[in-house]
Homo-oligomer: A and B are copies of this chain.
């Protein structure tokens, strides 16, 4: 089926039901920030491969909303189709509701797939539409038309040992029960895949880059129920779960179970994380307590063992990255020019030496020249730039280790650098150091911290549109809530503007500069929130940097660094050599010694 055929099949159904607008979402039933192919309905219909998009089909028109960073990509990928493209954050763009009001006939209805919309999303649609519009659940439209549809993986789940996770699922359930009590809730419902994986210490293969599995979780003071595809759980795992008093049920059973089980009970849930379908299957007599997902908040604060483990993941990953940098630089010197895609694959050779390495955690971002000016550029096998001996190479590579996940970016010199490139590299480094060395009072949110870091660039009339950092999951999602170091509200992280950073939270520290059509610089380490001190002004927190990978000395303008910044850099490089050299051979040590020399 091509675009036209799909469209006419959908419109036929719409006409039959007197539906004037069909909202197609790129979400899964768990409100995951990243979904597997099975749920990419917008891509199926339009061919657009960017994430975070919504498409609305009316009887005459089609419109798609996406993130500003995907504009060029959307224009390229949709250029042969008659689809209006809008950037969600653009104040001039019509909102979904405005567009619908203009394109829908009188008496016509609006269709959505209620399992793909969160309660809050649905409320916001209804609120924005205003009275007089009828929104109906029509999951069948896409489900019946999309043939053949990619399947969800049937690979088995595996268990994350307590020596990695730092706490057993029984301990975790008790923590959550404590939180439930505090909130005055008898029951708790979770639908976020990373929340369920964290609590059960199970991991899966349903997402190509995150080790998650489709599931729901229901907890009361007495029982805990895991809803998932039971054929993916082997007997030993099932036995372990039963021993820990976790009941196992097939995913779809939850819709039969909730209506009775929640009758007359108080149930806690996160309206941003629970679908309308789930919500509507609660008993009408349930009293719902809404708020930030309990697990999401608890799991973001890594326990001591997780912290120790993540430190190790970072060292192992940095060893691999150093080998990658060394090999790229040597190749360039020998005039062996790989392309971006190959470099993104090559890192896995170095990673695989480490037995705790699990899998890559992103589609590799490897970018030369102007490609690096697109923060989310991902080279494809068939379309990837070859390196040249000039300017920068930027790579942003994430990995899952059993000891926790990493997300690291370096911008390395592979040829001559202009004065502007060196200046910009140094300014990004200054912003990076600003965050690494920040001390802040307890109660501060990532929203404020983002501005603090960016302000060091603003003073030079520069800026970057991306966030400065995001939470990082422990062998879960690489982008993890509730906190985020960003300057705007996003529905996947609805509490980022109001939830203070807390001890044990793991973040990326990734300021950058992106000069369209020319070059880009980003420098990213992983940082942990730690206690700093308590004094008459209150309690202060600080960051511990976990990532030790050399910065590019040849790209730094020393005169732009303050005395304190220079000191930080030299100390950082000293520690880098100390941390990584035990894992390196003599040649590699010599190389690293030079790369981390005192400036």
Residues of A at the B interface (CB closer than 8 Å) are 437-441, 444, 447-452, 455, 458-459, 461-463, 487, 515-516, 532-533, 535-538, 540, 562
Contacts and interface: CB of A to CB of B under 8 A. Distances in A.
Contacts of A487: 448
Contact of A447 (B447, B515, B535, B536): B447
Nearest to A533: B461
Q: 8 closest A-B pairs (Cβ-Cβ)? A: A448-B451, A463-B537, A452-B455, A439-B458, A440-B458, A452-B452, A441-B463, A451-B452
A439 B437 CA distance: 22
A538 B458 CA distance: 11
Contacts of A440: 455, 458
10 contacts: A438-B458, A439-B458, A440-B455, A441-B458, A448-B487, A449-B451, A452-B455, A461-B535, A461-B540, A462-B537
A568 to B, nearest CB: 12
Nearest to A537: B463
Contacts of A535: 461
Contact of A458 (B461, B536, B540, B562): B540
A441 B458 CA distance: 7
A458 B439 CA distance: 6
B455 A538 contact: no
A314 B406 CA distance: 54
Contacts of A538: 463
Nearest to A540: B461
Nearest to A434: B455
Contact of A439 (B441, B450, B459, B537): B459
Nearest to A455: B452
A461 B448 CA distance: 17
A261 B537 CA distance: 54
A467 to B, nearest CB: 13
Nearest to A513: B537
Nearest to A287: B130
Contacts of A451: 444, 448-449, 451-452
A28 to B, nearest CB: 30
Given A448-B451, A458-B540, A462-B537, 8 more contacts: A437-B459, A441-B463, A447-B448, A451-B452, A463-B537, A515-B536, A516-B536, A562-B562
Contacts of A438: 455, 458-459
Contacts of A447: 447-448
Contacts of A462: 537
A540 B455 CA distance: 12
Contacts of A515: 536
A173 to B, nearest CB: 26
A531 B440 CA distance: 30
Contact of A461 (B450, B455, B532): B532
Contacts of A459: 437-439
A439 B461 contact: yes
A438 B459 CA distance: 6
A458 B440 CA distance: 6
A458 to B, nearest CB: 5
Contacts of A441: 458, 463
A533 B460 CA distance: 11
Contacts of A448: 447-448, 450-451, 487
A448 B463 CA distance: 15
Contacts of A463: 441, 537-538
A42 to B, nearest CB: 28
Given A455-B438, A562-B562, A537 B461 contact: yes
Nearest to A459: B439
A11 B201 CA distance: 58
A506 B462 CA distance: 25
A441 B444 CA distance: 22
A273 B580 CA distance: 61
A462 B447 CA distance: 20
A438 to B, nearest CB: 7
Nearest to A497: B497
Contacts of A562: 562
Contacts of A516: 536
A43 B173 CA distance: 50
Nearest to A532: B461
Name which of A437, A450, A540 has the most chain B CB atoms within 10 A of its CB. Answer: A540
A366 B536 CA distance: 24
Name which of A440, A449, A461 has the most chain B CB atoms within 10 A of its CB. Answer: A461
A535 B537 CA distance: 40
A449 B447 CA distance: 11
A562 B459 CA distance: 15
Nearest to A443: B487
A500 to B, nearest CB: 11
A125 to B, nearest CB: 19
A484 to B, nearest CB: 14
A516 B537 CA distance: 10
A425 to B, nearest CB: 17
A517 to B, nearest CB: 9
A462 B439 CA distance: 10
A596 B473 CA distance: 55
Contacts of A533: 461
A447 B489 CA distance: 14
Name which of A440, A452, A538 has the most chain B CB atoms within 10 A of its CB. Answer: A452
A535 B460 CA distance: 11
A493 to B, nearest CB: 17
Nearest to A452: B455
Contacts of A452: 451-452, 455
